[in-house]
Amino acid sequence: MTIQSPVPDNRENFDEIFKLLQKEYPNAEPMLHFNNPLELLVATILSAQCTDKQVNKVTQVLFKKYQNVEDFANADLTELGKDIYTTGFYHQKAKHIIGSAQLIITEFGCRVPDNMEDLLKLPGVGRKTANIVLARGYDIIEGIAVDTHVTRLSQKLGFTKNNDPKKIEIDLMALAEKKDLENLSMTLILHGRNVCIARRPKCGACVVSELCPSSEV
């Protein structure tokens, strides 16, 4: 059995790596389709363990049926579950969406919260979802959304030795300027999807392979 060596600290190369990746992905825009913070919240909840492409396909119909927070709050759990079935984990996601909508009405005046503390009170909303809603829904940069791609790439690139998303978020926030955190998240996600693929990384086609301590080139 091959024992993998720990990835060395590579934080000194962060600025150059990020600059190269930004050139590679100059339009690192969010893939989820939405028109307002509520739709963004719902779409982000649905995106857990599901592709953005599939979520967009579902929400194209969903947002015509449920047009405001009251519609989601009053939704039938079984019916909403059927509506979002193809996104996976549909029963739990439906509970989270309905529960969040109800709390938004009773506690937040029918408006999706625009701060981390209140967003984290919503069912099924963790820091990743909250950061996405704040950044893309309100242009508020509170932190960085750490998903599986961001976790994996930040570890492989030697930016963090942590596994906990919150600790990874802290490590990345120490490296990047606050205004760049949303772009950093999207850039790492795109690179993870297109090049640094989990099971078959395309190191030969990677623009940062010479600076990556995990490169197989």
Q: Catalytic one among 128, 139, 166, 179?
A: 128
Encoded tokens for 42: 């719902």
Please give the Cα distance from 88 to 81 (Å, whole number). Answer: 10
> Annotated binding residues, as ranges?
196, 203, 206, 212
**Burial classification of residue 205, based on how many CB atoms lie within 10 Å of its CB (0-12 exposed, 13-18 middle, 19 or more buried):** exposed
Helix (H, G, I), strand (E, B) or coil at 72: helix
The answer to whether 104 and 110 are in contact (CB under 8 A) is: yes
Whether 128 is catalytic is yes
Please give the backbone phi and psi of residue 10, each rounded to the nearest 5 degrees, phi first. Answer: -125, 25
What is the Cα 195 distance to its own chain's centre? 18
Q: Catalytic one among 52, 71, 118, 147?
A: 147
Whether 167 is catalytic is no
> Annotated binding residues for [4Fe-4S] cluster, as ranges?
196, 203, 206, 212
The answer to whether 124 and 145 are in contact (CB under 8 A) is: no
The answer to whether 123 and 73 are in contact (CB under 8 A) is: no
Residues serving a catalytic function are: 128, 147
